[in-house]
Amino acid sequence: MPSPTVVLVPVWAPGHFSSMLQAGKRLLLCSSGSGTSAPFTLTVLVIPPPMDSPAPALTSEASSQGHCCDMASGDGGVDFHHLPAVEHSADLPGHPSEYIQLYAPLVKEAIAGLASPVAAVVVDFFATPLLDVVAHDLAVPAYVYFASTAATLALMLRLPAIYEDVVSARFREKRGFVGVPGMPPVPVASMPSPELNDYSWFVYYGRRFMEARGIVVNTAAELEPGVLAAISDGLCTPGGDRAPPVYPIGPVLSLNNKPRGDDHECVRWLDDARPPASVVFLCFGSRGWMDAAQAREVAVGIERSGQSFLWVLRGPPAGSSPYPTDAELGDLLPDGFLERTEGRGLVWPSWAPQAEILAHAAVGGFVTHCGWNSVLESLWHGVPMAPWPLYAEQPLNAFELVACMGVAVELRVCTGRGQGNFVEAAEMERAVKELMGGGEEGRKAREKAVETKAACRNAVEKGGTSYAATQRVVQDMLESYAPK
């Protein structure tokens, strides 16, 4: 009989897709122990992006730049099954889960038709609608992979009980606080930022997670001890029902270990006699961009700070795409800015290798949009942050970085301009100075970032907390597998 397989069902977004593949690799490596082979293989069901989505090009770019996991070739016990595209109406995907629901029959058929017996199926949290066919129709042990924070998971588990309060007028007016077990009271302004009716999907996820055999989370026990304890103690799921076991196996990262000599221009610029921890790095993820008004505020603030900087600046999306374009720097920056800061700073208008830049000794601070993958990369390299959240769960991430982890200095946004995340020049100047060597807040964030770097690396080593959690989930998968 062939070896059993663990089926992964990621979604197409690069941050989710790559993270789940790396988590799968972690499971394989842990299951093989010191041996040369694992007791199971991995099968990845690849759901194509919506036909009107620009994600295929983005994924292709990410893969070519080393963003995607090195298992993408299909070797090392990993088999990729590409599902065919399905027709969908023009108003889909209104939400990723609505689109994924269309794939339930194809996912069921693909899993049922595998030559290897299936030990377990792991679905991205956006793919929890597939629990109907996986856990119920096929009766296969099902796990959820949660690519974000344990704090966001705790909120989703809690939301079914507090949904009405969350969507009340008080919430819409951004007053008051929300109780997330294991965290200080969360200001409403720091709650995740989908449209209010999308919170119904958060409630949906919180309920469906309860049907999984386990939840694998891209965090470490050392990063979020309070919320992980609250989930384990049943504080997020009132009524006596405890959440499934949570396995914090992170940080799960895709680190590009390519040989030196083939460096990106931004890395070569950092190599050019930049003193250690002297450069502030500004980068805002795959969807982060600025209009001229915001870019000029940032430019003025950075220039006044006197700080060396590397700024990845992207321009507005084209057409209906949510993804930025390469920036026309002359249209976005103040007159003379590039000339005045020549030698002290570099503005890069296109994609840049973020993980490689954060690994560079010259980088001493990171102004980030707070995507969780970006945060983990920063923590892995011991770089303190100034969080500037843009969308999704990023406001909650920003709050946690400052109020709970202590690895960031606050970057205050202006909410009175009709733009909920506008940062003025004076605030950018203050935050950069604080982050890179100012007062007590910056000093504590830098010290805590160094401590957290060591904690993250220790967690994934043999004997560490994340290594042990990976062992537990692998053992649970193997124990739940019963060949028919």
Active-site amino acid positions: 16, 124
CA distances, 2 to each of 25, 93, 119 (Å)? 20, 38, 12
CA dihedral 49, 52, 58, 60 (to 10 degrees): 60
Which residue spans within 358-451 are E strands per DSSP?
Answer: 363-368, 385-387
Name the token pair of 299.
């430019």
Q: CA–CA separation, 127 vs 217, rounded Å?
A: 15
> Looking at residue 126, what DSSP letter applies?
G
**Which stretches of 191-291 are DSSP H helices?**
199-208, 225-232, 265-271
Q: CA–CA separation, 484 vs 12, rounded Å?
A: 32
Q: CA–CA separation, 368 vs 300, rounded Å?
A: 18
Which of 261-282 are b and which e, b meaning 16 or more Cβ less than 10 Å from the residue's Cβ? eebeebbebbeeebeebbbbbb
Give yes or no for a cis peptide into 129 (omega within 30° of 0).
Answer: no
